[in-house]
Amino acid sequence: MRSATLAALATAPASGAVGIVRLSGPAALEVGRLLAPGVPPAPTPRHAYLASFVDASGAMLDEGLFLFFRAPHSFTGEDVVELQAHGSPRLLRMLLARALEHPEVRHAGPGEFTRRAFLNGRMELSRAEAVADLVAADSEAAVRAAASALSGSLSARVRALEEPLRSLHADLEGVLNFPEEAEGADDGFEARVSALRVEADALLAEAGRGRLVRRGARVVLYGPVNAGKSTLFNRLVGESRALVDEEPGTTRDVLEARVEWEGLGVTLLDTAGLRSAPGRLEALGIARTREVLSAVELAVLVLPPRCGEEEAQAWLQEAGETPVLRVAGKCDVGRGDTGSTRDSDTLTPSLSQGERGDGHGSGGFLSVSGLTGEGVELLRSSILQRLWGGGAPSALTLVSERHADSLRRCSEALSRAELASRLSTLEAVSGELSLALEALGEVSGTSVSEALLDAIFQRFCIGK
Ligand SMILES: Nc1nc2c(ncn2[C@@H]2O[C@H](COP(=O)(O)OP(=O)(O)OP(=O)(O)O)[C@@H](O)[C@H]2O)c(=O)[nH]1
Ligand SMILES: [Mg+2]
């Protein structure tokens, strides 16, 4: 029996200029010609035919383009027909329903076209996934990273690791199983294992940044009540999102705003200020602040003008494992260059001295004023610097969570192999290498299970 022919809308189910019905499989041409009978029985592949689309009784529904791609020269590697009609959701559903009446046609599941492309060897797995990433990308950096993976740069990097790993594994297995014939194949294997481990770690490091690109970074502002967090938040977001008031404990809920800085998506969070004797409602807000603090990429600690070093250290502890960027807030206070004198009584002389000049306080941290905007640009670039470490987003190749996980397992197996190469048997080393290979194969597609494929393609939209 021939494999099923897939049908789906390739465009979003909303009104638009153009809507596309996509068919892929052995019956694609036959079904396509049912909908567009004016097209010749053997159309020229990759040629755009102007065609009338008709219903079952032959009445014309629309006029549009008919494209035929002959296997294996198509996206999926099968015969593919695309009908480009006007983008009326109702019309497109009628055309699709008609195609689905054919006994060999069924509706495509999420990502099923791309899955066939992968199974037919038209596309490597990491590139197939890049398609999904590209569709889901919501910042410029995410688009660029997905495009880079799509162009195969990830596959190339993975292959550059996989090939020497495979041959080292083969050499060791040779020595273990055929000691006579393979004599000497394990010479210098310790150095080969180490080199592979270094390379795997480098890939893994990039994976962390790839994840940042794909999901964007979460950055929280936290600190004592009334430090000026919400004022600074509004400055960074560029609009007045959070309520600001001189009364301590103004912010209760966690506020979120999404910005895009130099192409990187950043979700900024403003939180309830922390203090020891809050009201009941405020205490709930403080609990949320603590939750958020543990779940972000970077925390910005905003401290008020009068804040001793001991107290500051206690605030730093609050963030736990999360990296902290410390800023001295309200740096305009007491300098007489704004109208606000509200906090001038809280100014300590020691802090005001260090705040002059380069925007860095005496402790080497940034001085900012949400009120005047002073130091805010510097803060923004410092946040980006901390998140990126200075690299260019577009140079990233690794974009998916799954890749990062596979690479982590590969790198861990190689670390164990490295250890075993010094302390244990050749057999143990070879065993770890085989685990490393398996993990890498999940990225390159050489060792993927059905279940993994299901998981991967579930992320896709239907029609892709
Ligand atoms: N002079 C000066 N005053 C500021 C600055 N930032 C905030 N303020 C004032 O300080 C008070 C508290 O500001 P908020 O931004 O609400 O402070 P917060 O840290 O969000 O306070 P909570 O939400 O209560 O924890 C308000 O009266 C602001 O106008 C600043 O940079 N300079
Ligand atoms: Mg606030």
What is the domain-level CATH number for residue 177? Answer: 3.40.50.300
Strand positions, DSSP E, 347-388: 366-367
Helix axes 189-215, 376-388, angle to 10 degrees: 140
| pLDDT value at residue 411 | 93
Whether residues 107 and 68 share a domain: the answer is: yes
Asked if the model's pLDDT at residue 358 lies above 80, the reply is: no
pLDDT tier at 325, thresholds 50, 70, 90: very high
| pLDDT value at residue 376 | 93
Q: How many angstroms separate the Cα of 226 from the Cα of each of 251, 257, 273, 341?
A: 9, 20, 7, 14
- State which ligand 1 atom lies nearest to the alpha carbon of 340: 1
**Can you read off the two tokens belonging to residue 337?**
């260059």
| pLDDT value at residue 353 | 37
Q: How far is CA 115 from the centre of its chain?
A: 20
**Can you read off the two tokens belonging to residue 128?**
């197939």
| pLDDT value at residue 390 | 57
Does residue 371 line the site of ligand 1, with CB under 6 A?
yes
- State which ligand 1 atom lies nearest to the alpha carbon of 225: 25
Whether residues 163 and 262 share a domain: the answer is: yes
Whether residues 271 and 202 share a domain: the answer is: yes
| pLDDT value at residue 351 | 38
User: Of 75, 102, 124, which residue sits at a domain end?
Assistant: 124
Which residue, chain included where needed, has tokens 């609990």?
287
Rounded to whole angstroms, how far apart are CA atoms 75 and 118? 10
Winning range, highest mean pLDDT, from 283-292, 391-400, 435-444: 435-444
Å from CA of 292 to ligand 2 middle: 15
Between 137 and 92, name the one with better pLDDT. Answer: 92
Ligand nearest to the CA of 225: 1
Whether residues 256 and 362 share a domain: the answer is: yes
Does residue 5 line the site of ligand 1, with CB under 6 A?
no
Whether residues 244 and 308 share a domain: the answer is: yes
Rounded to whole angstroms, how far apart are CA atoms 248 and 229? 11
**Can you read off the two tokens belonging to residue 349?**
């002389």
Residue 395: give the domain boundaries: 138-444
Å from CA of 230 to ligand 2 middle: 4
Does residue 273 line the site of ligand 1, with CB under 6 A?
yes
Ligand nearest to the CA of 232: 1
Rounded to whole angstroms, how far apart are CA atoms 319 and 361? 21
Task: List the strands of the sheet with 324-328, edge to edge.
Answer: 255-261, 264-270, 217-222, 298-303, 324-328, 366-367
Ligand 1: residue of 244, 292, 327, 345 to mutate (most ligand atoms within 8 A of CB) is 244
pLDDT tier at 245, thresholds 50, 70, 90: confident
Share in percent of the chain as helix, strand, coil (round to 5)? 45, 15, 35
Asked if the model's pLDDT at residue 61 lies above 80, the reply is: yes
Does residue 235 line the site of ligand 1, with CB under 6 A?
no
Rounded to whole angstroms, how far apart are CA atoms 382 and 227? 20
Ligand nearest to the CA of 373: 1
pLDDT digits (tens, 9 = 90+) for 386-436: 887 655 544 445 456 677 788 889 999 999 999 999 999 999 999 999 999
| pLDDT value at residue 348 | 38
Mean pLDDT lowest for which of 38-42, 190-194, 448-452? 448-452
| pLDDT value at residue 333 | 86
Q: What percent of the chain lies above the pLDDT cut of 90?
A: 44
User: Of 63, 96, 124, which residue sits at a domain end?
Assistant: 124
| pLDDT value at residue 92 | 93
pLDDT tier at 40, thresholds 50, 70, 90: very high
- State which ligand 1 atom lies nearest to the alpha carbon of 270: 20
Å from CA of 245 to ligand 2 middle: 8
Per-residue pLDDT averaged across 40-68, rounded? 96
Q: Would you call 264 helix, strand, or coil by DSSP?
A: strand
Burial class (CB in 10 A: 0-12, 13-18, 19+), 249: middle
Ligand 1: residue of 229, 231, 330 to mutate (most ligand atoms within 8 A of CB) is 231
Å from CA of 260 to ligand 2 middle: 22
- Ligand 1, atom 8: nearest CA belongs to which residue? 228
Helix axes 401-423, 426-444, angle to 10 degrees: 170
> Buried (b) or exposed (e) across 381-411, using 16+ Cβ within 10 A?
ebbbebbbeeeebeebbbbbebbbebbbbbb
Which residue, chain included where needed, has tokens 């490295």?
418
| pLDDT value at residue 393 | 47
- State which ligand 1 atom lies nearest to the alpha carbon of 302: 19
Whether residues 196 and 281 share a domain: the answer is: yes
**Is residue 252, in this structure, part of any structural domain at all?**
yes
Å from CA of 83 to ligand 2 middle: 54
Ligand nearest to the CA of 231: 1
| pLDDT value at residue 399 | 52
**Which of 9, 6, 25, 4 lies closest to 463, judged by CA?**
9
Per-residue pLDDT averaged across 39-68, rounded? 96
**Is residue 463, in this structure, part of any structural domain at all?**
no
Between 379 and 143, name the one with better pLDDT. Answer: 379
Q: Domains in the chain: how many in total?
A: 2
| pLDDT value at residue 354 | 36
Rounded to whole angstroms, how far apart are CA atoms 176 and 182? 9
Does residue 400 line the site of ligand 1, with CB under 6 A?
no
Mean pLDDT lowest for which of 20-24, 92-96, 126-130? 126-130
Which residue, chain included where needed, has tokens 């560029």?
238
Cβ-based neighbour number of residue 94 at 10 Å = 17
**Is residue 457, in this structure, part of any structural domain at all?**
no
Å from CA of 271 to ligand 2 middle: 6
Q: How many angstroms separate the Cα of 312 from the Cα of each of 302, 325, 329, 420?
A: 10, 12, 12, 45
| pLDDT value at residue 315 | 87
**Is residue 450, in this structure, part of any structural domain at all?**
no
Å from CA of 229 to ligand 2 middle: 5
Name residue 224's amino acid. Answer: P
| pLDDT value at residue 279 | 63
Whether residues 294 and 407 share a domain: the answer is: yes
Whether residues 31 and 145 share a domain: the answer is: no
| pLDDT value at residue 268 | 94
**Can you read off the two tokens belonging to residue 288?**
């949320």
For the whole prediction, is pTM greater than 0.75?
no
Burial class (CB in 10 A: 0-12, 13-18, 19+), 314: exposed
Per-residue pLDDT averaged across 439-463, rounded? 73
Å from CA of 259 to ligand 2 middle: 19
User: Of 124, 153, 172, which residue sits at a domain end?
Assistant: 124
Rounded to whole angstroms, how far apart are CA atoms 160 and 381? 35
Asked if the model's pLDDT at residue 375 lies above 90, the reply is: yes
- The CATH number for 47's domain is 3.30.1360.120
pLDDT tier at 249, thresholds 50, 70, 90: confident
Whether residues 120 and 145 share a domain: the answer is: no
**Is residue 254, in this structure, part of any structural domain at all?**
yes
Strand positions, DSSP E, 102-193: 105-107
**Is residue 458, in this structure, part of any structural domain at all?**
no
Between 200 and 185, name the one with better pLDDT. Answer: 200
**What is the phi/psi pair of residue 455, to 5°?**
-60, -40
